[in-house]
Amino acid sequence: MFDLSGKVALVTGATGSIGNAIARTLHKMGATLAVSGTRLDNLEHLARDLSTRVHLFACNLSSVGAVEELVPNIERVCQKVDILVNNAGITRDSLIPRMLDEAWNDVMMVNLEAPFRLMRAVSRSMIKERWGRIVNISSIVGAVGNPGQANYAATKSGLFGLSKSVAQELARRNITVNCIAPGFIESPMVEQIPAAHREHLEKSIPTGRVGTPEEVAAAVAFLCTKEASYITGHVLHVNGGMAMI
């Protein structure tokens, strides 16, 4: 049960706290990893820690050319991609009257267009294999919005619709497509929140605390298993109950 031995998993944004936890969890379950990110030193540190079944692919997802080359590069090394976790994401926050086109376009490219292109690329071989798992990391912000993050919220909400549409297209080929919508998760960004504001924030979360990257990773890992084959087109909220409010 919950064994991913023999599967190849591509995890984007593996240099961040959530992506790192996802990669480590999938590896622990037996998967061979193809990890991508922009900080090569962090990827190398991850590879040294895991030592085996890890392949590094530096990739700047803001470049269409780099995104289009990523899956073919992985397939040349690993022969296939069974699991895709679109985890990478960026923010370029600004109130809408002052939001620059560049801030809008950058976030759209990394958070929504890159996942679309990677989903398109891996779907071809998944269809031939009649097996695949795609998990897109969205956000609670995609469900409720957030001032100053119109661009980010649009991309994360867009992942909901993209995932549901592709899930319907691929369901009969034993390929599932789902979303994870994390809430506030321990990360360098959350650690910078002033203590008073963090206390107020935690009180607003039904569980009374922020989550951990490992809790997000556990949800992702389950959706990647054969045991989750009857779950597709779903948005799983991992946010301590904030989606109820």
- Note whether residue 13 is domain-resident: yes
- Note whether residue 2 is domain-resident: no
The more confidently predicted of residues 163 and 242 is 163
Residue 77 is part of a domain; what is its CATH number? 3.40.50.720
Burial class (CB in 10 A: 0-12, 13-18, 19+), 38: middle
Predicted confidence at residue 169, as pLDDT, reads 98
Residue 60 is part of which domain span? 8-239
Domain count, the chain: 1
Q: Which of 17, 80, 151, 152 is catalytic?
A: 152
Mean of pLDDT values over 83-103: 97
- Note whether residue 222 is domain-resident: yes
Residue 152 a catalytic site member:
yes
Dump pLDDT digits (tens) for 11-42.
999 999 999 999 999 999 999 999 999 888 88
Inform me whether the pLDDT recorded for 136 exceeds 70.
Answer: yes
- Note whether residue 3 is domain-resident: no
Predicted confidence at residue 91, as pLDDT, reads 94
Six token digits for residue 20: 């790192």
Mean of pLDDT values over 198-218: 93
Burial class (CB in 10 A: 0-12, 13-18, 19+), 101: exposed
- Note whether residue 1 is domain-resident: no
- Note whether residue 245 is domain-resident: no
- Note whether residue 244 is domain-resident: no
